[in-house]
Structures are given as structure tokens and as C-alpha cells.
Structure 1
Amino acid sequence: MNIGDKVRLLHGNEEGTITKISNGGRIEIEIEDGFRIPAMKNEVVVIHETEKQYFGNKSSKVQEKESSLPEVKSTKTTDGLYLSYVPINDKTLSLHLINNTEKDYVFMASDIFGDNSKTLSSGTISALSAKKLDEKSIPQFENWPPLFLQFIPINHRAEKTMAPFEKKVKFKASSFFKNQHMAPVLGKKGYLFAIDQQTRALDINKLNQELNEGKGEEPVSQQFKRPEKQIDLHIEKLTKEHEFMSNTEMLKLQMETFEKNLNYAIATGMDEITFIHGLGNGILRKEIHKYLSQLENIKYFQDTQKSRFGYGATLVRIN
């Protein structure tokens, strides 16, 4: 086998071109739309031109029949914007944004992690075209972050102005895996979802306010809310999205939670409050103690309740 050879997986329907050969019998195959998948040499077979000449269209028919997705009835898909999750293999889906309209759009697609976001793709998507946004792991389905989409219609000539719009998507397994259809433009079977343009119009000022939520001053009605006497700062207690956060992002969230609850404790006249930060590598404890040492209205702070928390908690006495 050489780079550039056409190959087919023995235990799958994928065909592609070898783009990399590594030691130990590992290779990399580029399949349709530029996707690359790893494999072992003994898991693939080289496709010779004589095979296609002999089988003709029969080969493609067999592959279609063996597709991991069940057959779906051929129905005409209406014009619109769509998300399509196309299987690459039995564990990975390729996420595409599809523009099945006669209008171009400026778009941005982002994964949302609480107050944080990660832009997957942005730019212009032309009429009757598709763009790959990301790849998703099926075993990690329950941990997929919400997907936030923003669209601005483009008018290339004087015509009726369409308002920008946005949509936030979070799937449930019960409905996601039942929604199998042929994706327009792509012409591939996958999990297909229409993006309803009748969602709320994109308000730039409100969007900026939402993205900065929690960074500015708390609403007056919540400024003096008395916190619990013990605040657990373990990251899994603060967010379900921690697996997708960097160490810096996790520390930032933990410190914001610590500062907010300490301020509430001081404002509501509490005498003391305990922050459970765990042992770990000691970075969070160090940052908390550094912050406390700079405050004048703190009587003292100390490691506390070894029998219950070990040295993974800090007691703060307030003046």
C-alpha cells in the first residue's frame, strides 16, 4: 500500500484515499468531503480500477444497502436552513450547516459552556451550499454542549429586508436518533433538523448583555441574598460542562463563585462562611487565601474541619 491508493474498510462502508502511513501498520484515510479516519493496514483492502469496471453501479448499490442507517422514504425537502449530522463511522458524526435556499447568509455557530462559548465556524454560507462545522462523538451525546446559531441574511440587490435571527439547540436522544432523512444539498443520509427562521430576532444589545451576564453587577434583587454556610467549590458542583472546560476556565468559575458568595456573606452580616475547595493540586486554595489576605473586613481565615473535609476547606471569619 502507498499514499494515494484507493482503499475500502473491510468492516465498514467507507472508501477513501491513503494520505499517511505510520509505523506499526497504522494509516490515515481521507474519505468524502475531506474527512480523515485512522485505520490499520489489515483493516482495509486496495480498490483496483478493474473492480469498478467489472461491477459498475452494482458496487454502489451494495454499499447503499449495507449503510448503517435504515432506508428512509424519498421525500422532497422544503427550502430552508438545516443542521445535518452525517455518520462518518459508528462512533462519529459530522455536523453540517445546510443552506437550501436562494439567499446567502452571514452566520456564526458556537458551542455554549455556561457563560463561555467556543466558535466552531463563521463566515458566509452561499445559497444551495453546505459547510462542515464540527465532528461529534456519539458515545458523548449526553455531554454535547448547546449549539448557538446566528444568521444575517444578505441582500445582493434592493429587496425586502429580512431580520437577523438566532437559534439555540440542545438535543434529546429520544428525538434526535429518530429524525433520519436524506440531507438536501449534501445528498447523504443523516440526522436532519430544520432551523426555524421564525425564532426571535437577533437583538445585538441583548445578546451582548447575555454574553456578559454574571460579569457585571448583580441585579439589585439578588445583591443581598444570604448564601449557605458551606459553599462547595468542586467544579462538578458548579457546572455540568466541566469536561469541556480548560483548567483556566474552571479556576475562573470557581473563583467567581467564591467571590460572589463571600460578598453576599459580608453584605448580609454573616459571622463566618466555609469554602470547600478540596485538596487537588492546591491552586484553588492558594488563590482563595491570596484573595482573603488582601481584605480588611476579614477577621481571619484558616484550614478547617480536618475530620470532615481534610485540609480541603477554608473557614472565613468576618468582622
Structure 2
Amino acid sequence: MNIGDKVRLLHGNEEGVITKISGSKVEIEIEDGFRIPALKNEVVVISASERILFGEKEAEIPVISEKQQAVSSKDSGVFLSYIPLNDQAHAVYISNNSSKSYLVVVSEVFGSNSQTIVADTLLPSKSHKITEKNIRDFEEWPNLMVQLITINKKIEKTEPIVSKTYKFKASAFFKSKGVAPVLNKTGYVFNVTEQAKPLDIQSLNQELQTIQPKAAPSFPRPPKEVDLHIEKLTKDYDLMSNSEMLKLQLEVFEKNLNYAIAGGMDEISFIHGIGNGVLRKEIHRYLSQLPNIKYFKDTQKSPFGYGATLVRIS
């Protein structure tokens, strides 16, 4: 399971792309850029064979020979390409698949500041390597600004300056797989010179009238008090070892905590009992590592004694 994998929640209908992995947890970006936390054991990677079996064919990547690299109307332009070097590192290129020459400036943007990493002339059918990026740090990639000025070597129509800034969402980035023009390599490809289509307001209004509102993603809302006593979780506890019982209790704890966070709950209590204190210690250790927990503490003596933990969610 890696960043960029398309996955499905086992206990829901949501599908999305993994954007972050942290220990036993992952963050998934579903449609419209909405992100949800989940446990690794609650998601499954959607394989290519499954997509084909259920009718969603994986995009076919054409193999292009050198003779076929001539400029065509479909693939003409300047392209930004992320070409995998291995399962993590990607080389970033700017490629000119047109008959024009350009002055190109590529900068990494940090708020109101920027750092220019390429400033050069980009000739037809040529490419420049800009930098390398690690897919593991996808969330920390700075915005990338690409600026192009057309070089007219004779009297021609003055083309507007192209300036685009890219801040990728995982769901869009990993869907852009294709063959990079000029480079003739498979990667994630973006047409910098592609013009946005003019907005047809009348057609858009007609389309909106026929579309039913899409239901917002919903998550099971756990009770405010979750009882982790093993007899409450399974009828077969007498057949389980101590480690198996502890594993089940922690899985139920993590699942309900994630649902509480995703559902916007302010607080939740976990009843773990006193016993030998192992479950309480594991719960407190886990909570101490989470950034979105305001605080946690043993609850008041009544009604749970000191066998429960109150979690305040930030």
C-alpha cells in the first residue's frame, strides 16, 4: 500500500486515492478533494483486474515510436511531466512538442516568495529536466509556477504570455498518467499551453437542472461511550488468547476514534476497565501520538470508576 494507490473503504462505498501514510493510519482523498482518515486494515487497494472485471477499464498507454513523435494537433504544446525513476523518485521535465520556441521560467512558490529553478530557451522538440521529487513527500511539494513567452522569429501574431501555477490534488495527479510527448516515457503529464474551454452558461444551467444533488459522504457515528470489555465485542472471547483479545479491543478503539474524528465529534469516552492496565496503557500511548487530540484523561470515578478514558478532539 503506497501513496497514490486507489483504494476502497471496507465498511463503506467511498473510493479515493491515498495521500498520506502514518503508521497504521492512512489519509484518503475522495471525490471533490474531501479527505478522510482510515486505518490500513479498513481499506483495500483496487487492483487493475478488478476494474476490468467490473467494467472500469484501465487507461491504455500507447507506445510511441520516434517517427510518431512528430507534432500533432492533439499533442501539440508545452508539457509538464513527472517521470518515475523508481517507486518513489520522479524526475520533473518541461517539454516543447510544438513548432514554436519559448522563453521558459519555472519557479517553486512559497507563499509570497518564489525560487526560480529554470530560466532558459525551450526549442521545438526539446525538453529540460527541472528537478526531482519524492512521491512520499507529495503533500509538502511547493506550488510550481510555469511561465512561457513565445519567441517570434518573424512577424507573427503576438501570443499572450502563459502563466500557470500547479498545486496538485492527489485525485487529479494520479489520474493524469500518459506518455510524455518528446520524452516518449510514461509518467504523469500536464499540458501547460492547453487553453480552458469557454464556459457555456446556458448549457451549464440546463445541465444543473437535471442533476440530482450528490449526497455528502457519511460515516458511522459512534456512541459517546464505547465499551471495550471483551465480552461486549465478541461471544467467542473464551477461545481467544490474551494477545488476540487485546488486538480486537485496540482495533475497535481505533475504528471508533477515527469515526469520531471524521464525524466532527468533540469528545468520546472509551470504557476499558481497570484489570491489569495493559489496554489503558496502549490506548494512552496511541492517543499521545495523535496531533488532532486536544487532551485525554481518566474519567471521573462515577459511572466508570477509573476504568475509562475521556478523549477531547481538537
Q: Whose relative contact order is higher, 1 or 2, with alpha carbons under 8 Å and at least 6 apart? A: 2
Q: Same fold (TM over 0.5)?
A: no
What interval of TM-score do these two structures reach, taking the shorter chain for normalisation? Answer: 0.3 to 0.5
TM-score of the aligned structures, taking structure 2 as reference length = 0.39
TM-score w.r.t. length of structure 1? 0.39
